[in-house]
Each structure stands twice: as C-alpha cells, then as structure tokens.
Amino acid sequence: MTVTTSVARGGGSRATYPPVLLAVSVVVAALTLIPLLFVVGFGISIGWDAMWKLVVRPRTGELLSNTARLALACVLACAVLGTTAAWLVERTNLPGRKFWNVVLVAPLAVPAFVNSFGWVSLTPRVEGYGGALLIVTLSYYPLVYLPVAATLRGLDPALEETARALGHGPWRGFARVVLPQLRPALMGGCLLVGLHLLAEFGALQMLRFPTFTTAIYDQYQSSFNGPAANALAGVLVLCCLGLLLLELRLRGHARYARVGGGAARTAVPARLGWFTAPALVGLLVVVVLAVGVPVGSLVHWLLVGSSTAFPAGELVRAAVTTVGLGLAAALITSALALPVAWLCVRHRGVVSTVLERSTYFGSALPGIVVALALVTVTIRFAQPAYQTTGLLLAAYAILFLPRAMVSQRAALAQAPPLLDDVAHALGARPLTTLRRVTLPLIARGVGSGAALVFLAVVTELTATLLLSPIGTETLATRFWSNASDVAYGGAAPYAALMVLLSGPATYLLTRAANR
C-alpha cells in the first residue's frame, strides 16, 4: 500500500509526495544546507547588531557592485553565446557541425583558474573587470551550450512547420515556438553559470578582481577574521537566493514533455548563405580564445619555464587521487540528485520546489565556507569524520549537486509521465518501471550531470585544500601551490595533466548529448 503526503497547491489542486521519496529528498536538502546554517548560526552567535555593522561598510558595497555587474554580464553573455552557438550547430547547414559540437564544449576541460593562469602569465592587461568578464564567459558558456543544444536536437520540427504554416517567419517562429521550448535548458544553464560565478575564487584571484568570494578567502587566510568573512558569506547567500528566485520566475511552470519523443523527425537545416563565413570566423575566435590561448600558454611554459620540472611520482599520485575522487563524487552526487529532481518534476508543489531550491545554496558559497562549515560540524558532532575522504566527498556533493540536478531535471521534464502510468497499468512495480522505462529515457541527462560533476571535482581547489586528509594532494592543489609562488613552469605540468584528464570526460559528455 502506497501512502502519500498532500499539501495545498495553486489553483486548489493538491500535490502528492511519496513518503520515502520525500524523506530522502529532505535528507539531501539538509546536507546541502549545512553551510547556510553555519553562516546563519555564526551570525546569531555574535548578535545581529554586530553582524549589521560588519555588513554595512563601504567595502561591502564595492564587493556587491563588483559581484553583481560581473554576474549579470557573464550570465547574459553566456546565454547569448551558448544559445547562438547551439543554434548554428544544431539547426543550420554550418560546415563541420560535428567538429564544432566537440570543440565548443572543450572549454569545460580547461578550468577557469587555468584559463586565467594562461592569460595572466602572458599579459597582465587582462587583470580587472574586462579581463574577468572575458575569461569567465569563455570558461562557462558551455554550461548553457550543452543543455540548449541537446534540447534543440530533441525538438519536433513539426512545431516550427506549423508556425510557418500559420504565417510566422523564421525569426518570429523561433521566438514564439522554439525559444519557449528552450526555457528549462536555457534557464538551468544560466543558473549554473550564475552560481559558479558567485563561488569562483581561483580565476578572479589571479585576475585581481575582488568579489565576495575572494574577499572571504582573504579574510580567512590573512587576518583570520571569522566574523567579517561570515558576514560577507551571509550577503553572498542572499545573492544566491535572489538568483534562485529569478530563475524560478523566468523558468515558469509549463510542461514540455510529449509522447512519441523517439519518433520525431530531423529538422531541415536552415541555410546560412552569405552568413556562413562570419559564423565560422566567430566560432573559431571563441574556440581560440577559450582553448587555444590557455593551452598555448601551458605549452609555452612547459618548454621554456625556468621552474619547469616533471616529477613523475608526484604527477602520477596526484592524477590517481584526482581521478578516484572525481569518479566517487560523480556517482554519489548523481545518486543524491535523482530523488530531489524526481520529486521536483513528477510531484510539483510548494514542498518539492523548496527542497529543490535548497540544494543550490551550497554551490553558491565559496569552497572555503563549505569546508569550514563541515569542519565545525564534524569537530563538534562527528569528530571521527574529521579529515577523512568521506568528508571531502560530502563537500563535493554540496558544491556540485546543482550540476547533476539541472541535467536530471531537464531530462525528466521531457520524459512523459504517461509511460510510467502505462507500465504501472501493465503490472510493473515502481522499481521495475524506474529501471526499464524511466532510467533509459533520462540516461543521457544522468550521464551528462555525472560528467559535469567529475569535471568539477578534477579542478576543485579551495575545499580540497582545507578538507583533504593529510598527505592527500590533487592536481589542482599542486598546481595552486606552484602558481602562488609564481613558478609558472612548475605549475604547468599539473595544469596540463588536469586538461588531459578532463578532455576524455568532456568528449564523452558531448557524445552522450549527441546519442
């Protein structure tokens, strides 16, 4: 017998929540809220008056301005660049579309702080707002390109043909028919860009552009000023909340699944005509700036750097540790995201929305805040877990759960619930339906999310620096140790190996999206 929990919903309807699914989702949300509770608890412990004095300072206003204008400009730039590139590759007769589909995702294999390292080590002119906007846009636009391209690939061209039959031109048809269908993927990608930018540290620190994240790190590392750092983290949490509410508002509540998704015809590519050459040049410039410059810089320092060395033992140990942590985190994070994504899509309501939104807060906080929150909790309540691999994997899950969540949510949104109902009517049990019907339909989304988590863990820096067990070093921590000492040649081998490890995962991510 299945028991459900009901809550009131808009329009008088009621959403049902399976108890087991709801309980698991609550546990996942509680895990991701630990850093937020840490920040709030610290604010309560020092008193709201003291907290207010720490927040209301000219420096806070400067950091808020820097963070807001960089985040807004980067999200808009990534939305335009990612959507345009996806349309050119998926819906036009652009020459070499398969090649462009691979290389446009390649920036995911180059961490943002490695990208900054490549630019800064060649010229200091990229320091400041302009350089920061350029580099974070080049690093993050694939987070929009991938889901939008996958959605365009799965749309039924009959929708556009109907629009043309009703008198809509190509541009009006795209705006009225295609763009609304892209809304979940586009908004999800933009949300990931915004959250990652709010938490970005390494790239912005190298570019000398102060934001809340870099200021929090400086407070902890230089002056050990915990109250000031936590006050800034509190403001960052409010920024995250605003971003989540805005994405929820823009995404809307329309349903996008349709029966017969596997029978959709391939869309007839739009002919670019005279626009073919400018389109090719534009895509080539993006790829060269996003991949060519940082990779070329790494090659340069590998060949001519005075501190360049190739310690085989250290490189192998760091690489094995990095891959092991990445695979474990991808598996654990994907498993944690699935029940929450399922509840959000298949059982819509206030409770499911709140639980889903809760999982994004940890990702918007700097890795150092997440790490310190987990350190505090474990020392006080679970001391045996302190400085263990399990604690580090928990930090990765908190930080990167949105990567898995967005991909799974988009896949579930396009998987018709009617097929589950048919399976149940034929006598299939819920677990059988999940294994034989639903999981095959959302496999690409689950795989894409897992690959994104793996890529993130391979290049994660701040939480790893604080939480890794004694003697555990990853490629990112070894790279940062050398780069901080301005040993560009010594940092280059670790950065190059990070790119090489991320490359296959990025390629498999592209193949999974194309399948």
Confidence of residue 122 (pLDDT cuts 50, 70, 90): confident
Confidence of residue 19 (pLDDT cuts 50, 70, 90): confident
Phi, psi of 349 (to 5 degrees): 175, 180
Does residue 141 surpass a pLDDT of 90? yes
What's residue 262's pLDDT?
46
Condensed to tens digits (0 to 9), the pLDDT of residues 221-239 reads 665 556 777 777 778 878 8
What's residue 369's pLDDT?
80
DSSP-derived secondary structure letter, 106:
G
Helix locations, 252-275, DSSP H? none
Mutual orientation of helices 129-140 and 142-154 as an angle, nearest 10°?
30
Count of Cβ atoms closer than 10 Å to residue 324 Cβ: 13
Condensed to tens digits (0 to 9), the pLDDT of residues 203-219 reads 888 888 988 888 877 77
Measured CA to CA, the distance from residue 1 to residue 57 in angstroms comes to 58
Of 499 and 270, the structure prediction assigns the larger pLDDT to 499
SS3 for 273?
A: helix
Of 14 and 81, the structure prediction assigns the larger pLDDT to 81
Measured CA to CA, the distance from residue 247 to residue 236 in angstroms comes to 17
For 184, the token pair is: 């979940």
Measured CA to CA, the distance from residue 358 to residue 32 in angstroms comes to 7
For 274, the token pair is: 């005279």
Is the distance from CB of 448 to CB of 512 less than 8 angstroms? yes
Instruction: Report residue 501 CA to chain centroid gap.
Output: 18
What's residue 12's pLDDT?
42
Which residues 6+ apart lie within 8 Å of 143 measured at CB? 78, 82, 108, 189, 192, 193, 196, 452
Is the distance from CB of 233 to CB of 216 less than 8 angstroms? yes
Is the distance from CB of 337 to CB of 449 less than 8 angstroms? yes
Confidence of residue 392 (pLDDT cuts 50, 70, 90): very high
SS3 for 356?
A: helix
Percentage, residues of the chain above pLDDT 90: 17
Is the distance from CB of 395 to CB of 367 less than 8 angstroms? yes
What's residue 132's pLDDT?
92
Query: Cα angle at 226 between 379 and 466, to 5 degrees?
Result: 50
Mutual orientation of helices 58-91 and 142-154 as an angle, nearest 10°?
30
Is the distance from CB of 453 to CB of 404 less than 8 angstroms? yes
What's residue 70's pLDDT?
93
Measured CA to CA, the distance from residue 236 to residue 364 in angstroms comes to 7
Of 265 and 472, the structure prediction assigns the larger pLDDT to 472
Measured CA to CA, the distance from residue 196 to residue 218 in angstroms comes to 19
* Residue of 189, 452, 450, 138 whose CA lies nearest to 295: 138
Which residues 6+ apart lie within 8 Å of 429 measured at CB? none
Q: Which amino acid is at 454?
A: F
Strands 5-8 and 14-17, how do they pair?
A: antiparallel
Cα–Cα separations (whole angstroms), residue 490 to 309, 358, 473: 6, 40, 15
Measured CA to CA, the distance from residue 438 to residue 441 in angstroms comes to 5
What's residue 126's pLDDT?
87
Does residue 282 surpass a pLDDT of 90? yes
DSSP-derived secondary structure letter, 110:
S
Condensed to tens digits (0 to 9), the pLDDT of residues 424-480 reads 566 666 666 666 666 777 777 788 888 889 988 988 888 888 888 888 889 888 888
Condensed to tens digits (0 to 9), the pLDDT of residues 47-99 reads 777 777 777 778 888 888 998 899 999 999 999 999 999 989 888 888 988 88
Calculate mean pLDDT across residues 246-257. Answer: 64
Condensed to tens digits (0 to 9), the pLDDT of residues 315-343 reads 889 999 999 999 999 999 999 998 998 88
* Residue of 354, 158, 141 whose CA lies nearest to 260: 158
Torsion of CA 255, 256, 258, 262, to 10 degrees: -150
Rg (CA), the chain: 23
Measured CA to CA, the distance from residue 455 to residue 504 in angstroms comes to 10
Is the CATH number 3.40.50.360 carried by domain 16-257+269-514? Answer: no
Of 264 and 361, the structure prediction assigns the larger pLDDT to 361
Mean pLDDT, the chain, rounded, equals 80
Measured CA to CA, the distance from residue 163 to residue 186 in angstroms comes to 21
What's residue 297's pLDDT?
87
Measured CA to CA, the distance from residue 333 to residue 359 in angstroms comes to 11
Tokens 């570019």 correspond to what residue? Answer: 207
